[in-house]
Amino acid sequence: MKITESATENRLKTLFERKQENILNIYFTAGHPQLEDTAKIITALEKSGVDLVEVGMPYSDPLADGPTIQNSGAIALKNGMTLDILFQQLETVRQTSNIPMILMGYYNQVIQYGEITFFDRCQQIGIDGLILPDLPIEIYERDYKHLFEARNLRSTFLITPQTSVERIRRINALSSGFVYMVSSSSITGAKKGISEKQIAYFNKIKELNLDKPRLIGFGISDRETFSTACRFANGAIIGSAFIRLLENNLKDEVGEERQLKIEKIINDLVSNLKP
Amino acid sequence: MNYAINEEGFYGEFGGAYIPEMLHSNIERLRLNYLDIINKPNFQKAFKSLLKDYVGRPTPLYLAKSLSEKYGCTIFLKREDLNHTGAHKINNTIGQILLAKELGKTRIIAETGAGQHGVATATACALMGLECIVYMGAIDIERQAPNVSRMKMLGAKVVPALSGSQTLKDATNEAIRDWINNPEDTFYIIGSVVGPHPYPDMVARFQAIISEEMLWQLEEATGQNYPDKIVACVGGGSNAAGAFYHYLNDERVELVAVEAAGHGIHSGESAATSVLGTKGIIHGSRTLLMQTKDGQIIEPYSISAGLDYPGIGPLHAHLIDTGRATAIAITDEEALDAAFMLAQIEGIIPALETAHAFAALDKMKIEKSDCIVVNLSGRGDKDLGTYIKRMK
Ligand SMILES: Cc1ncc(COP(=O)(O)O)c(C=O)c1O
């Protein structure tokens, strides 16, 4: 087996060294709308200048996700997506793509695949980081931190408006990738606008002067919410809104035509986000 | 061997709290406070007094003569069906609603399968004047219609869970998502010994009243405060946890956990978690669950909405894994036969869930000298539709 990349280079780290503002992270569910869209979407995201891609591993029971991501995961699973297929897809894209890439999924998926096998496979493919929202930080610190570090995988944990300052500092210390700021008390899914209350929370976190990069996610959907989030953090994450764009605009195009359509959807989104 | 929960919230290797950060502050607050609150004399006084005067406890321990004759041993029925609202579920909802009030919460959410936990929650909310929202799988709304009407009459809002298999698992997912969206004013009253720590332990403590009464009732009836065997059905496992609780460390007592085998354990339509399940995480708890090798949760099946769940509580995973409890799987057909048998020889129509426990008597090795307690977790009114179809 070929081990890609040296043990020192991590694209996520390089990204945050190069760029501290307006970082655009796009989440999508692998294998949705069609099984073979994974590579097309990643290629198009990189081409359009998106900074970071978060690949969702479809799960049957995604507790932290709203209807859009739940539904996209159900479709991906119906399309036949498995972790083995996903890893193969990502391995192939990685040969021509250098975009920072992180995987997001649920802890049970990693346990069943076999933790060590899973992390090894990530390293071998050139995955830069992992987000497992239901992996408790205490268990990460005790059982997995050294395994992540040995494979140059970066960790990202979530904070919410309910997270205490003391715990935020602990999460910050354990997040070697970035701190994922959940924008409000909610599951994923695009909402309308950002409230005063959310602004107050963003400000509070900003003033903590954490030493790790922060990206704001959940409910970021358009130019306005993206630029507001970027005023208080290093960047933001768009998920459900992007998934809906794919669903609403993709039909049954195939091959080159489908690739071009995906590129157009992403280019339109990215240019819309520019101030 | 000690079967109690440890400091970190584990029974052996099972349990814990594998939850997204959005739930952390609520679960942590509960974890830090639940024992202090429950053990306060005032809380215990209020809890016990409601159980007595409102729920109707103690429930009888009834010597079932015809059933004893049929199986050639001594069989007692712990009559949880005689509780207000018709099942054991209310023991837990009274406990949790008092706790929710202590925590200053004003909005209550719950999941329900058979609707018994939903009715028990709606009842407790009506009693305490709290808002109540119950998530219920769309399929269960159809097959347990009388309970849906009861919840509505009690003033609860019933929200259909439309994702996945549209049963108990999905109702639980929706309730958890509601809590994520409403962390401040809301308390989630879980209906079984499942979910993240401290729920399994907390629910087991509220249901423990069942075996607490068995201790003195057996002493009174037989001169000995323990039986040889206790039989209970297991969906998530709360009625079984309550019936086993005070006997967990008493190895003289054999514990029998009865699961739903649907159309047959290996038919592809089953909920026999102890046979089909492997170790993993469901609803924030490390336990046994039915899943693919990729960790996707498999949709279970049982005729009984309350047993139609792809996992079991971590306590039961531990009891079965260590051999402390024996699991028996019962098919739809066997459960239906047992329901009619019990109705006709004892004059008691059991809930479909409970009928599984009675069917297990046919599969157990029984000695003449055996004293057996079957936990009669609920009555069968809600299942009349299914029973009527069977009679045609
Ligand atoms: C009468 C009755 N028994 C048993 C159960 C199963 O739940 P548990 O395993 O938590 O006792 C239910 C659940 O709805 C029920 O209504």
What distance in Å separates the CA atoms of residue B287 and residue B272, rounded to the nearest whole number?
14
Ligand 1 center from residue B193 Cα (angstroms): 11
Domain identity same for B294 and B263: yes
pLDDT at residue B218 greater than cutoff 60 = yes
Question: What is the pLDDT, as a whole number, of residue B94?
Answer: 98
DSSP, collapsed to helix, strand or coil, labels residue B350 as strand
DSSP, collapsed to helix, strand or coil, labels residue B358 as helix
Domain identity same for B60 and B145: no
CB A29 within 8 A of CB B142: no
Please tell me the number of Cα atoms within 13 Å of B337 on its side-chain side: 9
Residues B8-37 have pLDDT tens digits of 999 999 999 999 999 999 999 999 999 999
- B1 in a domain, yes or no? no
Domain identity same for B218 and B352: yes
Domain identity same for B180 and B218: no
- B374 in a domain, yes or no? yes
pTM above 0.90, yes or no: yes
DSSP, collapsed to helix, strand or coil, labels residue B214 as helix
Mutation site for A-interface testing, chosen from B294, B297, B298 by largest number of A Cβ within 10 Å = B294
- B339 in a domain, yes or no? yes
Question: Which residues have C-beta within 8 Å of that of residue B106, sequence separation ≥ 6?
Answer: B130, B131, B185
Give me the amino acid identity at B329: A
Which of chain A's residues have a Cβ under 8 Å away from the Cβ of B281? 106-108, 111, 134
- B3 in a domain, yes or no? no
Q: Mind telling me how many Å the CA of A68 is from chain B's nearest CA?
A: 12
Domain identity same for B287 and B240: yes
Mutation site for B-interface testing, chosen from A112, A167, A240 by largest number of B Cβ within 10 Å = A112
Q: What are residue B161's DSSP bridge partners?
A: B137
Cβ pair B284:A134 closer than 8 A: yes
Average pLDDT, chain B: 97
Domain identity same for B217 and B348: yes
B232: burial class by Cβ within 10 Å (0-12, 13-18, 19+)?
buried
Ligand 1 center from residue B240 Cα (angstroms): 9
Here the tokens at position B203 are: 């629910």
Average pLDDT, chain A: 95
pLDDT at residue B158 greater than cutoff 60 = yes
Here the tokens at position B214 are: 């068995």
Cβ pair A83:B294 closer than 8 A: yes
* Nearest-atom index, ligand 1, CA of B382: 16
- Residue A9's pLDDT band, with cuts at 50, 70 and 90, is confident
Cβ pair B180:A187 closer than 8 A: yes
CB B289 within 8 A of CB A78: no
- Of all helices (H) and strands (E), which one includes residue B260? strand B254-262
* CB of B260 shorter than 6 A to ligand 1: no
Residues B308-350 have pLDDT tens digits of 999 999 999 999 999 999 999 999 999 999 999 999 999 999 9
CB A208 within 8 A of CB A168: yes
- B6 in a domain, yes or no? no
Q: Phi-psi category of A255—alpha, beta or left, where left has phi over 0 and alpha has psi -120 to 50?
A: left
Question: What is the pLDDT, as a whole number, of residue A4?
Answer: 46
pLDDT at residue B127 greater than cutoff 90 = yes
CB B350 within 8 A of CB B318: no
* CB of B117 shorter than 6 A to ligand 1: yes
- Residue A275's pLDDT band, with cuts at 50, 70 and 90, is confident
- The β-bridge relationship of strands A52-56 and B131-137 is unpaired
- Residue A170's pLDDT band, with cuts at 50, 70 and 90, is very high
Domain identity same for B343 and B301: yes
Domain identity same for B131 and B153: yes
Ligand 1 center from residue B353 Cα (angstroms): 6
Domains and CATH numbers, chain A: 11-273 (3.20.20.70)
The 10 Å Cβ neighbour count of residue B146 is 14
Question: Which residues have C-beta within 8 Å of that of residue A123, sequence separation ≥ 6?
Answer: A3, A151, A152, A153
CB B118 within 8 A of CB B151: yes
Last residue of a domain, one of B164, B188, B203: B203
B111 flagged as catalytic? yes
- B7 in a domain, yes or no? no
Last residue of a domain, one of B161, B181, B203: B203
Distances (CA, A) of B362 to B66, B80, B338, B346: 15, 22, 9, 17
Last residue of a domain, one of B181, B203, B225: B203
* CB of B113 shorter than 6 A to ligand 1: yes
CB B151 within 8 A of CB B160: no
CB B250 within 8 A of CB B226: yes
Cβ pair A186:B181 closer than 8 A: yes
Domain identity same for B184 and B234: no
Ligand 1 center from residue B94 Cα (angstroms): 16
What distance in Å separates the CA atoms of residue B151 and residue B173, rounded to the nearest whole number?
20
B142 flagged as catalytic? no
Q: Render A174-227 in DSSP notation, one character per residue.
A: H-SS-EEEESSSS-SS--SS--HHHHHHHHHHHTT--SS-EEEESS--SHHHHH
**DSSP label of B248:** T
**DSSP label of B361:** G
Question: What is the pLDDT, as a whole number, of residue A6?
Answer: 47
Q: Count the domains in chain B.
A: 2
Question: What is the pLDDT, as a whole number, of residue B392?
Answer: 83
Residues B161-198 have pLDDT tens digits of 998 889 999 999 999 999 999 999 999 999 999 999 99
Residue A47 Cα to chain centre, angstroms = 17
Question: Which residues have C-beta within 8 Å of that of residue B200, sequence separation ≥ 6?
Answer: B5, B11, B15, B193, B194, B241, B285, B313, B314, B315
Best mutation site among B315, B353, B356, B383 for ligand 1, i.e. most ligand atoms within 8 A of its Cβ? B353
Domain identity same for B258 and B315: yes
CB B259 within 8 A of CB B330: yes
Domain identity same for B167 and B244: no
Among A60, A64, A167, beta carbon nearest to B20:
A64
CA dihedral B290, B296, B302, B304 (to 10 degrees): 100
Among B164, B180, B293, beta carbon nearest to A185:
B180
Cβ pair B20:A163 closer than 8 A: no
Among B20, B24, B25, beta carbon nearest to A63:
B20
Cβ pair A60:B293 closer than 8 A: no
Domain that holds residue B20: 12-50+89-203
* CB of B378 shorter than 6 A to ligand 1: yes
CATH number of B227's domain: 3.40.50.1100
Domain identity same for B289 and B354: yes
What distance in Å separates the CA atoms of residue B379 and residue B388, rounded to the nearest whole number?
15
Residues A126-132, mean pLDDT to the nearest whole number: 98
